[in-house]
């Protein structure tokens, strides 16, 4: 944690990734943050255009803000002593872009902090990344400068930059890591999760088009989704145990949120009350994770940085349910939570607004 002068002053923040849903959610969170202040948002395809043209709900908050080019973002980072860089750029493009910005900042003697929301820095080696994404890594020399974890699972941060896990992975890890870390279950995890349409990105497709998605539910990439090896890698880093993960994602008929169920075999018989109590113990002191006896609902968390967990057991099998918002806790909110920690700010800064409830 970095305390003192750096934590008290206004900290300039830039957003990479332009007009996507996650970038828009980052802007919304930055608008209400007490310390992080938007210095620029980058879009190479729309430089000079008003931010409000892409994000109508933010037009009154950022009435004069326009999208900036990479050169303009570089100038900000070279000028400021330390800039909070949020990268919502696509995987495959984020690494090279971040590397270019860090090269410029290093040459100017600056010390920015980066939280990457793409997949580019979620693996410890370029070979692991290439095995999942089928193309070479854009900046392999930078990998060791990033840690990847859900904030609640990494208490001590030893790197200057962070990669936030994907939204599916965040939900699955919140549910499963306590089972592994506390020795409650064997390391064979069966994960079923349903996500809202915003998880597919802003570009229209059959997966996001409302007439196709409304009143429907279907699985996709069953047992082959690219978040499965990410769940394995992050669980191993958090617990020292490498689980086997069978993951089946689903598309749900709502815009925001994820509901994940993780099933595993208990090592010794435990009832539901014991598992719920263990979850409460594990997440004691984690302000954004709430454990309850009742099953979590997506409406309880959609639009917020909170996660809700519950569990049931038949003494042999345990099922842990987790509900999060995919754009917030699973992406932009988790990234702000990490940036707060990188700058020694209260972890909850700018993130305590509850879910609307009636989305």
pLDDT tens string 130-142 = 999 999 999 999 9
Boundary-marking domain end, from 115, 148, 181: 148
Q: What is the pLDDT of residues 284-307, one digit of tens each?
A: 999 999 999 999 999 999 999 999
Instruction: Indicate if 221 and 285 belong to the same structural domain.
Output: yes
Instruction: Indicate if 12 and 42 belong to the same structural domain.
Output: yes
What contacts 24+ positions apart, CB below 8 Å, involve 277-280?
Answer: 278/178, 278/182, 278/184, 279/178, 279/309, 279/311, 279/320
Q: What is the pLDDT of residues 194-214, one digit of tens each?
A: 999 998 777 777 777 778 888
**What does the pLDDT average to over 139-159?**
97
Q: Which pLDDT does position 44 carry in this prediction?
A: 84
CA dihedral 119, 83, 60, 19 (to 10 degrees): -30
Angle in degrees, CA 158, 245, 130, rounded to 5: 60
Handedness of CA 131, 136, 142, 147 (dihedral sign): negative
Domain count, the chain: 2
Tell how strand 84-87 and strand 67-68 pair up. Answer: unpaired
**Domain encompassing residue 172:** 168-326
Instruction: Indicate if 144 and 284 belong to the same structural domain.
Output: no
Helix (H, G, I), strand (E, B) or coil at 18: coil
Q: Which pLDDT does position 24 carry in this prediction?
A: 97
**What does the pLDDT average to over 256-272?**
98
Identify whether 18 is part of a domain: yes
Q: What is the pLDDT of residues 19-29, one digit of tens each?
A: 899 999 999 99
Token pair listed for 304: 């917020």
Identify whether 333 is part of a domain: no
State the catalytic residues: 167
Identify whether 286 is part of a domain: yes
Count how many residues are written for the chain: 359
Identify whether 336 is part of a domain: no
pLDDT tier at 274, thresholds 50, 70, 90 = very high
Q: Report whether pLDDT(1) > 50.
A: no
Kindly report the average pLDDT of the chain as a whole number. 95
pLDDT tier at 8, thresholds 50, 70, 90 = low
202 vs 252, higher pLDDT: 252
Q: Which pLDDT does position 7 carry in this prediction?
A: 44
Instruction: Indicate if 71 and 30 belong to the same structural domain.
Output: yes
102 φ, ψ to 5°? -70, -35
DSSP state, residue 58:
G
Q: How many CB atoms lie within 10 A of CB 50?
A: 15
Query: In whole angstroms, what is the distance from residue 47 CA to residue 52 CA?
Result: 13
Identify whether 291 is part of a domain: yes
210 vs 84, higher pLDDT: 84
Q: Report whether pLDDT(4) > 50.
A: no
Largest CA distance in the chain: 62
As a three-state string, the secondary structure of 153-204 is HCCCCCCCEEECCCHHHHHHHHHHHHHHHCCCECCEEEEEEEECHHHHCCCC
**What does the pLDDT average to over 308-330?**
98
Q: Which pLDDT does position 6 carry in this prediction?
A: 43
Q: Which pLDDT does position 3 carry in this prediction?
A: 43
Angle in degrees, CA 59, 357, 61, rounded to 5: 15
167 φ, ψ to 5°? -65, -45
Identify whether 63 is part of a domain: yes
Instruction: Indicate if 144 and 175 belong to the same structural domain.
Output: no
Query: CATH code at 282?
Result: 3.30.360.10
pLDDT tier at 359, thresholds 50, 70, 90 = confident
């Amino acid at each position: 944690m970095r305390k003192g002068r750096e934590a008290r002053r206004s900290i300039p923040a830039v957003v990479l990734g332009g007009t996507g849903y996650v970038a828009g959610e980052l802007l919304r969170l930055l608008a209400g943050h007490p310390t992080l202040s938007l210095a620029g948002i980058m879009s190479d395809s729309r430089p000079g255009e008003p931010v409000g043209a892409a994000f109508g709900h933010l037009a009154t908050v950022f009435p004069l803000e326009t999208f900036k080019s990479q050169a303009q973002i570089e100038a900000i980072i070279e000028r400021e002593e330390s800039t909070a860089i949020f990268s919502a750029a696509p995987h495959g493009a984020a690494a090279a872009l971040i590397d270019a910005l860090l090269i410029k900042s290093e040459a100017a003697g600056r010390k920015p902090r980066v939280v990457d929301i793409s997949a580019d820095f979620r693996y410890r080696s370029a070979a692991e990344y290439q095995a999942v994404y089928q193309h070479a890594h854009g900046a392999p020399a930078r990998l060791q400068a990033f840690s990847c974890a859900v904030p609640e699972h990494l208490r001590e941060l030893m790197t200057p930059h962070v990669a936030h896990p994907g939204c599916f992975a965040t939900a699955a890890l919140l549910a499963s890591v306590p089972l592994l870390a506390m020795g409650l279950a064997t390391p064979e995890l069966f994960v079923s999760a349903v996500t809202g349409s915003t998880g597919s990105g802003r570009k229209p497709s059959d997966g996001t088009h409302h007439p196709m998605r409304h009143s429907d539910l279907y699985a996709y990439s069953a047992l082959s989704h690219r978040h499965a090896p990410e769940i394995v890698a992050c669980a191993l880093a958090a617990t020292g145990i490498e689980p086997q993960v069978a993951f089946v994602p689903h598309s749900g008929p709502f815009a925001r949120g994820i509901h994940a169920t993780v099933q595993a075999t208990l090592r010794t018989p435990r009832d539901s009350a014991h598992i719920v109590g263990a979850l409460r113990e594990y997440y004691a002191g984690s302000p954004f994770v709430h454990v309850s006896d009742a099953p979590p609902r997506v409406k309880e968390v959609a639009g917020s940085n909170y996660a809700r967990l519950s569990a049931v057991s038949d003494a042999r099998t345990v099922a842990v349910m987790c509900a999060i918002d995919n754009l917030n806790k699973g992406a932009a909110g988790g990234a702000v939570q990490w940036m707060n920690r990188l700058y020694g700010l209260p972890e909850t800064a700018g993130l305590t607004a509850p879910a609307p409830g009636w989305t």
